[in-house]
């Protein structure tokens, strides 16, 4: 089946607050997101549909028709305050995880019979997004960066072999990258907070691992790479092994960008998603 994706954008304000909690409890759980005036985002929504190809038009669905349907849904949200101007967040927090599920219901219900919604990805900001496919659990992803030096050099190979295989990456004094790490967690949404994981906890946990690599020379300062080459493949497996136990079974996928052109994905022992 062909999957067709169209990107949409809208802007909205929101606030994290529960009336049935004390101000102290709201402050403790939601921190700066409790501001009574709210704050806002430019949301980006990727809508993916599938269906039998129309033999006459060669399309899953006319994108103009999809655009009209989704824009009609988004009109209720665009340039609005999610808490006060829409009816969907009276009893749930307008987190990205909850919002993507609300949008799923509204868009799926409006699609014509020949098209089926298969995936929604909602970006709250470029480094934070939620994925939902309508049946399983929601996924939540966040980007982190660290800057490290390294040298590709395998201790089991001769100097000549290392030079031949790794080329300029074998430079004896090393070189470096701004690594970008995509961390995707999956699981049920906490109905009280609307979050799949507490964002502060996720940030703290991921930083406890990547901060050990940040501003370091991987081969010379990180013992895990003393006896194996610091390829992105070995780094992503190292990061998975460090992060998976700390994230309590919720780590679903890591993606490591060594440069903007070299991208590696790892989902542990389960099949990799791309
Ligand atoms: Zn926000
Ligand atoms: Zn490199």
Rounded Cα–Cα distance for residues 218 and 149 (Å): 6
Tell me, yes or no, whether 29 and 119 share the same domain: yes
CA 165 to centroid of chain Cα atoms: 33
Please identify, among 136, 171, 194, the residue that sits at the C-terminal boundary of a domain: 136
Q: What is the pLDDT of residue 136?
A: 86
Closest ligand to residue 232's CA:
2
Rounded Cα–Cα distance for residues 253 and 250 (Å): 9
**Cβ within 8 Å of residue 30, ≥6 positions away:** 16, 17, 93, 193
Tell me, yes or no, whether 2 and 129 share the same domain: yes
Q: Any alpha helices (H) in 139-273, and if so which ranges?
A: 159-166, 199-210, 218-221, 232-246
Q: Give the confidence band of 270 by pLDDT, cuts at 50, 70, 90.
A: low
Q: Within 13 Å and on the Cβ side, how many CA atoms surround 274?
A: 2
Averaged confidence pLDDT in the chain: 95
In sequence order, the β-bridge partners of residue 148 are: 177, 216
For residue 169, report the distance from its CA to the centre of ligand 1, in Å: 41
Give residue-wise pLDDT tens across range 41-65: 999 999 999 999 988 999 989 999 9
Tell me, yes or no, whether 121 and 161 share the same domain: no
Q: Give the confidence band of 72 by pLDDT, cuts at 50, 70, 90.
A: very high
Tell me, yes or no, whether 99 and 65 share the same domain: yes
Tell me, yes or no, whether 126 and 150 share the same domain: no
In sequence order, the β-bridge partners of residue 10 are: 43
Give residue-wise pLDDT tens across range 176-197: 999 999 999 999 999 999 999 9
With beta carbons less than 8 A apart as the criterion, state whether 253 and 267 touch: yes
Percent of the chain clearing pLDDT 90 (strictly above): 95
The dihedrals phi and psi of 69, each to the nearest 5 degrees, come to -65, -50
For residue 150, report the distance from its CA to the centre of ligand 2, in Å: 6
Q: What is the pLDDT of residue 185?
A: 98
Tell me, yes or no, whether 121 and 183 share the same domain: no
Please identify, among 70, 105, 136, the residue that sits at the C-terminal boundary of a domain: 136
Q: What is the pLDDT of residue 81?
A: 98
**Both tokens of residue 112?**
């014509």
Q: Give the confidence band of 272 by pLDDT, cuts at 50, 70, 90.
A: low
Tell me, yes or no, whether 110 and 127 share the same domain: yes
Please identify, among 84, 115, 136, the residue that sits at the C-terminal boundary of a domain: 136
For residue 15, report the distance from its CA to the centre of ligand 1, in Å: 7
Mean pLDDT of 66-86: 98
Tell me, yes or no, whether 145 and 250 share the same domain: yes
Tell me, yes or no, whether 86 and 156 share the same domain: no
Tell me, yes or no, whether 171 and 71 share the same domain: no
Rounded to 5°, the CA angle 143-146-150 comes to 135
* pLDDT tops 70 at residue 271: no
**Cβ within 8 Å of residue 115, ≥6 positions away:** 49, 50, 51, 60, 61, 66
Q: What is the pLDDT of residue 273?
A: 56
Q: Give the confidence band of 269 by pLDDT, cuts at 50, 70, 90.
A: confident
For residue 141, report the distance from its CA to the centre of ligand 1, in Å: 15
Q: What's the number of domains the chain is made of?
A: 2
For residue 13, report the distance from its CA to the centre of ligand 1, in Å: 7
Say which residue, 269 or 105, is predicted with more confidence.
105
Domain of residue 166, CATH code = 3.30.479.10
For residue 258, report the distance from its CA to the centre of ligand 2, in Å: 7
Give residue-wise pLDDT tens across range 110-136: 999 999 999 999 999 999 999 999 988
Mean pLDDT of 150-157: 95
For residue 261, report the distance from its CA to the centre of ligand 2, in Å: 12
The residue segments making up the domain with residue 272 are 140-274
SS3 126: coil
For residue 138, report the distance from its CA to the centre of ligand 1, in Å: 18
Tell me, yes or no, whether 3 and 117 share the same domain: yes
For residue 177, report the distance from its CA to the centre of ligand 2, in Å: 6
Tell me, yes or no, whether 32 and 44 share the same domain: yes
For residue 252, report the distance from its CA to the centre of ligand 2, in Å: 26
């Amino acid at each position: 089946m062909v999957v067709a994706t169209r990107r949409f954008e809208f802007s909205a304000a929101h606030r994290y607050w529960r009336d049935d909690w004390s101000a102290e409890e709201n402050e403790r759980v939601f921190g700066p997101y409790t501001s009574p005036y709210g704050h806002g985002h430019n949301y980006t929504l990727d809508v993916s549909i599938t269906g039998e190809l129309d033999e006459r038009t060669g399309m899953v669905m006319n994108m103009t028709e999809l655009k009209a349907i989704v824009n009609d849904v988004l009109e209720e949200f665009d340039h609005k305050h999610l808490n006060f101007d829409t009816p969907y967040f009276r009893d749930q927090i307008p987190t990205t995880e909850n919002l993507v599920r609300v949008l799923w219901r509204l868009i799926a219900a409006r699609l014509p019979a020949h098209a089926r919604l298969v995936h929604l990805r909602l970006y709250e900001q470029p480094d934070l997004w939620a994925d939902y496919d309508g049946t399983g659990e929601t996924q939540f992803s966040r980007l982190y960066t660290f800057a490290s030096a390294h040298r590709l050099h395998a201790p089991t190979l001769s100097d000549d072999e290392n030079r031949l295989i790794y080329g300029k990456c074998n430079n004896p004094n090393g070189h470096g990258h701004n690594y970008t790490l995509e961390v995707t967690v999956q699981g049920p949404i906490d109905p009280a907070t609307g979050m799949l994981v507490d964002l502060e906890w996720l940030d703290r946990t991921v930083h406890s691992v990547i901060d050990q690599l940040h501003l370091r020379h991987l081969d010379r300062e990180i013992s895990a790479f003393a006896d194996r080459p610091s390829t992105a493949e070995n780094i992503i497996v190292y990061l998975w092994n460090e992060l998976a136990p700390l994230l309590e079974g919720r780590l679903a996928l890591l993606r490591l960008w060594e440069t903007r052109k070299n991208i590696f994905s790892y989902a542990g022992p389960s099949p990799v998603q791309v």
